[in-house]
Structure 1
Amino acid sequence: MKTYEPMKKLLIFTALCLFLIACQHNGPRYNPIVKIKYSRNTANNINSSRNYASITQNPWQYMLNQIDAYIPENSRVNAERERLLRNPKGFETIASRSEPYVYYIINQLRKNNLPAELALIPLIESAYDPLATSSAQAAGLWQFVPITAKEYGLQQSSSFDARRDLIASTNSAISLLQNLNNRFNGDWLLTLAAYNAGEGRVRRAIEKNQAKGLPTNYWSLELPTETMHYVPKILAIIDIVKNNKRYGIKLPDCNYENSLVRIDISKNISLAKIAKYSKLSLDELTTYNAGYVQQTVNGPFHLLVPYAHAADLFKKLQEDNLVVNEVTELLQDTPRTNMPFEFKSGFMQNNSIARKESFSRNVKKIAYLVKAGDSLYSIAQSYRVKITDILQWNNLKNSKVQEGDILTINLANANPI
């Protein structure tokens, strides 16, 4: 028996090798599962004052430093990246709209130990416009549809729509993302797909593949067309942010004076009066507080205004006995008692808030994010410009546009229809 033992081992080894070779060459090939892996080191501890300083100095730079995602060399990702980079200025304009909101969003993601890159979701969902509403009645920065909003405790009434409120919608979006990620065993690609298409639809696609003996990773699933573009688009944006210098993209140069702070108001007051007190335009104030449907808001309620405008506004409201607490910085979530603020030199660049193009009454040029169902005709009609002008401004050869495209609309030079 001992004489044949080496021969027996050799035969077993040879058979195993042949089996492995056969497995490699037989049957269809599929893209490997692409997982976004995030390493959470001590620098990302939720109690780290160093992280707080990083976010206040520049949340986009903080996000850039935190990115730890593997971006696959994938035709779908490449196509979305190319589409976004057709109009780099448009991408930069939409990214700059995030400034008042992104401080709070990134800090909440940090506190919940979630990837900072998830702050890019509103860039796709709403172009960082809290007033955005889709054809499916999704609303706000995070584009909650009514049924999901109700499930996650977002109030919707004739006077207030919490889907448009920065604080309420962000906290609900984080809860939704956490739940989805837990249900999909930490797979962020499936999580993002479910955020877009719904958990049930992704589950059914997985079960369909399981029944056929097919892989169940995101790239192998048959999902709605929008979702097939959605996840690659997020990965493409992460890659653009991560490699912004390579692609010639300038990330927003944020100023903490433009971040939003909270003032709790006790009585009824019109937004027009608050705008006058704060020296903000009514358009600006309404956008920051997009959850309030009526122009007169019933107290008690919370008001969001830029840091730079809070001191004067608080003083005026205090004189009218309208405030409940001191001003609350959203990143610290505690009332600030030393009013007016003393800005720290490391945080500030100047003493005046930058006016965003989306708020100005004299807008010359805007960046428009193409939504599902849009056409050049409908966009031209909305802004009262010519289709030929849109083609010229964006160097387009034909009138075909796709969801996710960024178009420049030059209102100042537009010809009347």
Structure 2
Amino acid sequence: MSQQWRLKIIVFVLSVFFLNTHVSAATNKTNLWLTIANNQQLPYQKHPLIDEKLKWYLQQSFYANAISLRAKPYLPYIVAELKKRKMPLELALLPIVESEFKMTTSHRGAAGIWQLMPVIAEYYNVPINEYYDGRFDLMLSTQAALSYLQDLYLAFNKDWLLAIAAYNSGEGKVKQALLHNKRNKRPTDFWHLTLPQETSEYVPKLLALDKLVKTKPQFFNAIEHKPTTRMIDIEQPFSMLVIAELLKVPNTELLKLNSAYIADKSAPTGPFHLLLPNELATTLEQILLFSRVGLEKGYRVKKGDSLYRLAKLTNTSIAKLKSLNRLTSDKLLLGQKLILPASSKTMPNLVREYAISRYIKRVKPEVETLEVNYVVKPSDSLWHVATLFDVTVNQLREWNALKHTNIIKPGQTLNIKITQSKKPSSQNELITDIALQIPYFSLTNTAPLNN
């Protein structure tokens, strides 16, 4: 082989190597799990309990995909908020320990991915009423949870492990444990405190997850920094059914990301925001833009507006907007009046009045419980079985009288209770879904929004 061909082969191999390295680096840079792994701030800990929990997590590879899928709409916002507050990014893993990133309610009454108790929600101004439970709201619950963690961090002399323990069991129990150790002249770090068993395992679980993303970053499916969802402020009362119609999507699709709206509509006094996939968010922004535009009043510039944004939402160019409004500068002022293309359009009222009539009652569907027996397979864990049947690990333990230290074995039979809505006994039985009680919504039957 000639010298020239040898050089060509070497150059080719090197180019492939550096190209792959570049692609890998780009992927790593945009993966939020790796961002957490590479920016760890919690103190390094070595303890048998951490190793035990890490081993347990490593056996749940089946579950890793589900965690990543559920975390995808929420994790970018949580990490961004932690960065903004200069808090340890590892705290973004806490919802895995708390709720497995499920918008769920515990038997003790804690709710949402952060599992906030009503008293904590109230203290941090998270509304809970007949219309709305803010513990299921990504933005409000995350703000409350992070504020609570910050307050606990300061209350326990800037010790994150004690703060995390207190988040689980309550500030009082951790303080009692500290006082007991001080009186008995024992160490007062987390590992020497006598705490409830759940709390004693809670902190090691988080530290094990921390170690997991550090040592095996590919365990969880990659989640990009670029959010797949956005929060849209509607700035006025709305019915979820109306928004679903305007966006041409099923009501259930909106409720998946906005389960805080327990009455299918906003409270008269708010909040008025929705978490939406990016495409739907842009569509709703366009709808709301025109709903605020009156033929005579025109559009008033609000916070966050720019010529670029308004041009994009109205499907026009910045040059056309400037020409239409005789603007010589690209800068806009709050409250400034603008003429926009299609400003003569009117939009319907975003509240469906007959959907909130006192004569229409939302009846909870009757539920029946089915008991099934499941035989444990060699690869099974409680976590795996709980995921298969969409129940919690604590429920499995309760139904089968299992202690936290018990390990399930192949061949063992587990009793599982599954709940499902009863099927109507006849076609004449009342249909409880509000979307079926009311005639299908039509834009032509609504009045224009009063500007």
The structure having more radius of gyration, on CA atoms, is: 2
Give the structure 1 partner of residue 162 of structure 2: 190
After superposition, give the CA deviation of every residue in 1:97-144 in whole Å (9 maximum; x if it has no partner).
Answer: 1111111111111111101111111111122123x1001100112111
Partner of 2:259: 290
CA distance 1:101–1:111, shift in 2 (3 Å) = same
Higher relative contact order (CA 8 A, sep 6+): 1
CA distance in 2 between counterparts of 1:109 and 1:295 reads: 31
Partner of 2:447: none
- Provide the residue aligned with 1:12 in structure 2: none
Aligned-pair distance for 1:273?
A: 2.8
1:409 equivalent in alignment to 2:409: no
Superposed displacement of residue 198, structure 1: 0.6
Whole-angstrom distance in 1 between the partners of 2:225 and 2:287: 25
Q: 1:84 to 1:181 in 2, by over 3 A?
A: same
CA distance in 2, matches of 1:135, 1:405: 20
Where 1:100 maps in the other structure, the secondary structure is: coil
- Amino acid across the alignment from 2:35: Y
Displacement of 1:338: 5.0
Query: Any gaps of 5 or more consecutive residues in structure 1?
Result: 1-52, 343-380, 412-416
Q: CA deviation at 1:279?
A: 4.6
Deviation at 1:316, TM superposition (A): 3.2
Matching residue of 2:234:
264
Identify the residue that residue 100 of structure 2 maps to in structure 1: 127
Give yes or no for the alignment of 1:155 onto 2:155.
no
Which residue in the other structure is 2:374 paired with? 388
Structure 1 residues 186 and 92: alpha-carbon distance in aligned structure 2, compared to 1, 3 A threshold: farther
Counterpart for residue 7 of structure 1: none
Residues 341 and 84 of structure 1, relative CA distance in 2, 3 Å threshold: farther
Q: CA deviation at 1:92?
A: 3.0
How many equivalent pairs are there? 307
How far did 1:165 drift? Answer: 1.2
Residue of structure 1 aligned with 2:68, choices 72, 76, 95: 95
Going from structure 1 to structure 2, the CA distance change for 1:257 and 1:152 (only over 3 Å counts) comes to: closer
1:218 and 2:190 correspond: yes
Alignment partner of 1:110 out of 83, 88, 91: 83
User: In 2, distance between residues paired with 1:77 and 1:141?
Assistant: 23
Once the two structures are TM-superposed, the CA of residue 65 in structure 1 deviates from its matched residue by: 2.2
Per-residue deviation, residues 275-309 of structure 1 (Å, max 9, x unmatched): 23335443331132222111132455112212222
2:312 aligned with 1:312: no
Q: CA deviation at 1:80?
A: 1.3
Aligned-partner residue type, residue 87 of structure 1: Q
1:321-360 mapped onto 2 (5 Å cutoff): 321=292, 337-340=310-313
* Matched residue SS, 2:388: strand
Secondary structure of the structure 2 residue equivalent to 1:222: coil
Query: Measured at CA, do residues 297 and 327 of structure 1 come closer, stay the same or move farther in structure 2, by a change above 3 Å?
Result: farther
Task: Give the conservation status (yes or no) of the 8 Å contact 1:63–1:116.
Answer: yes
Give the percent of matched residue pairs that are identical in Structure 1 and Structure 2.
30
Q: Which amino acid aligns with 2:208?
A: A
Equivalent position amino acid for 2:117 in 1:
V
**One-letter amino acid of the counterpart of residue 135, structure 1:** H
CA contact (8 A) 1:56 1:256 kept: no
One-letter code of the match for 1:189?
Answer: L
Change (3 A) 1:257 1:56: farther
